[in-house]
Structure 1
Amino acid sequence: MEFKPITVESFEYIRPFLKKQFYRTCDFTVGGIYMWVDFFHYEYCIEDNLLFIKGYAEEAMDKISFTVPIGNNTMQKGIDLLRSYCINQQIPLMFSAVPEEACSVLMQNYSCEKVERLDNWSDYLYVKDNLVTLAGKKLQKKRNRINKFYCSYLNVEFIPISQDNIQDVREFFNWYKQSVIKSNLYFVFEEMMVDRALDNYFILNFIGGVLKVSGRLVGFTIGEVVNDTLFVHVEKANKEILGVYEVINSLFVRYVANMYDLAFVNREEDVGDEGIRRAKLSYNPIRLLYKYNLSIML
């Protein structure tokens, strides 16, 4: 097995494999890989119709780990290849950010050890229709904030990101970076990755939009669709505007749902930030997609 650095051009080869899995976790998306490629030092290998990604483990940055293999071959074939690779490299066989379904398969079929749930990296999964309509008593506060937004502001527009407005998005994000306090290292790194995502937005085929009020850009969002799920990679807005996040979230999901046959929306992890955790829980997720670190005995 030969692992190679992941570049923008690598996704021509990686993307087809992402369509062949149904874990619905953000680790198997273009954005989930590209935006963290330098932080976790990801590399990739394609062998025997399987995709392997190697890097440092979540919550264990001193350890080399792998994603579970995906593609047109069996899990057993992927494990056999990785076992041989790890023996040759004299490293443990550790998997990181393993989806719950894959974790169950590994634990049933292999001698696993050091199984650890990564609560800070759980993804928040929502039913698409719930985020479009925000129906029900639990989401009443969301609807109230949206109603106040539309009562307070006129000429509200949600416009797809295009060559005509992406420079405006960059300028808004530069302002945003100066206006917020970074509470941990992940957010500092995320800002650099958002800049890179904007630089390669069209090459990577992201989907996104900007929210404007009376011609003024007040927020933007970036995501991608994999199978039946919309993944929201980036959502930035002027938080001084009451209801702006609720509005941009609802309009983005509605916009994407008009083009794709969506069932779910993944709003990704909270990376241990209590404020983000409360915000994601407030949208009433259908479930948390738990992930695990685990090792297989060689």
Structure 2
Amino acid sequence: MLTHSISITDKAFLDTYLRSSSYEVSDLNFTNLFMWRHLYHLKYEVIHGLLWISGIYYDKPFLFPPLFKNAEDLANLPACLEILKGKFDHIKSPAMIKFLPASAVELFQNTAPQQLRFQRDRDNDDYIYLAQDLMELKGRKLHSKKNHLNFFRKHMEFEYVPLTKDLIDDCLSLAQRLKVGNYTDLELDLLQNEALAIEEALQHMDQLHIAGGAIWVDNQVEAFTFGEKLTEDTMLVHIEKANADIRGLYQAINQQFCIHHCEDVIYVNREEDMGFDYLRKAKESYNPVKMLEKYDAFLI
């Protein structure tokens, strides 16, 4: 629907818009856009000073919230929406903007009052945690996490090492092993696309400025994770993979990442659950300090 495909060479250009727009949602981050560009068929285009990114979500075309270098450019939102509504009409699809944070809804309502209808999107809310909570696992609500972690530390010899390109093949091997199991067609498709996304991110880890680590157990990588700063006070976790057959390993990779990479932030954003019950249960079990609520905005 839009004109330009996203490539690694677009990082500097897109980052100027991403950093100025300050939506603070996990979706609007260059690494996420780059990693998942194939799955969501992402394209971008600048229209009336606003940078728009389009994609396809569960077979439905959508737009990300518009990005801008100057907040004044949002005055062009009504004119942009007229053009974009025409593009959606051309492909005979309802027009919508996804991943709009609750903090921006009033602004969009006031800027284009006759053109947008809003609807909560709980499945895509970001889970936000205190970094200190994830490091220490103190308190009754995190007691079971601490027990699993203590079991792992007591019964397993392990080593946490910084993520480097030397570990790419080991990490991809683990991702392949973890794909074995009983999954729905949708879950399997997501896992296959996730494997591609992981490989893309790791192969370009220097350009993307991501940081992470891996845990060795019995001479092989059994867990790895990586993320980057989303804002000055928030670390965004892009990927966390671990062998669930090893009790306490997920708790260990989570804690070790925070200890090594989150010492200078207050919050950790662990992204959304996408409506999957098992992900929601897992993310809620870590006791988020807040949820970053998101909305869909439908073009009328």
Place the TM-score, normalised by the shorter chain, in its bin. 0.7 to 0.9
Alignment of 1:52 with 2:52, yes or no, is yes
Scaled by the length of structure 1, the TM-score of the pair is: 0.87
Task: Give yes or no for contact 2:50–2:73 (8 Å, CA) kept in 1.
Answer: no
SS at match of 1:253: helix
Q: Indicate conservation of the 8 Å contact 2:176/2:195, yes or no.
A: no
- Deviation (angstroms), 1:106: 1.4
Structure 1: state its 5+ residue gaps: none
2:295 aligned counterpart, secondary structure: strand
- For 2:183, the equivalent position in structure 1 comes to 182
In the TM superposition, what whole-angstrom CA distance separates every residue of 1:232-267 from its partner, at most 9, and x where no partner exists?
A: 111111111000000100110111124xx3121111
Q: How many residues were matched structurally? A: 291
Aligned equivalent of 1:138, options 125, 141, 149: 141
Distance 2:124 2:87 in 1: 28
Tell me the distance in 1 between the aligned counterparts of 2:24 and 2:71. 19
Sort the Cα spacing of 1:129 and 1:46 in 2 relative to 1 into closer, same or farther, 3 A. farther
Q: CA RMSD in A?
A: 2.5
Distance 2:172 2:46 in 1: 34
Q: In structure 1, how many angstroms separate the alpha carbons of the residues matched to 2:24 and 2:275?
A: 20
Structure 2 residue aligned with 1:194, among 189, 195, 198?
A: 198
The aligned residue for residue 72 of structure 1 is 70
CA distance, structure 2, for counterparts of residue 295 and residue 232 of structure 1: 29
Partner of 2:153: helix, strand, or coil? helix
TM-score by length of 2: 0.86
Alignment partners' CA distance in 2, 1:242 and 1:214: 15
Partner of 1:245: 250
After TM superposition, the structure 1 = structure 2 runs for residues 137-286 of structure 1, keeping only pairs within 5 Å, are 137-154=140-157, 156-177=158-179, 179-183=180-184, 184=187, 185-227=189-231, 228-258=233-263, 261-286=264-289
> Could you give the per-residue CA deviations for residues 10-67 of structure 1, whole angstroms, max 9, x where no partner exists?
11211233233443311111232123212222112346764321223x46x3334342
The share of aligned pairs that are identical, in percent, is 28
Q: Provide the C-alpha distance between the structure 2 equivalents of 1:252 and 1:90, rounded to a whole number of angstroms.
A: 42
Residues 40, 55 of structure 2: 8 Å contact kept: yes
Deviation at residue 214 of structure 1 after TM alignment: 4.8
CA distance in 2, matches of 1:75, 1:93: 21
Cα distance in 2 for partners of 1:132, 1:72 equals 37
Decide whether aligned partners of structure 1 residues 153 and 291 sit closer, same or farther in structure 2, where only a CA change above 3 A counts: same
Partner residue of 1:104 out of 91, 103, 106 = 106
Structure 2 unaligned blocks of 5 or more? none
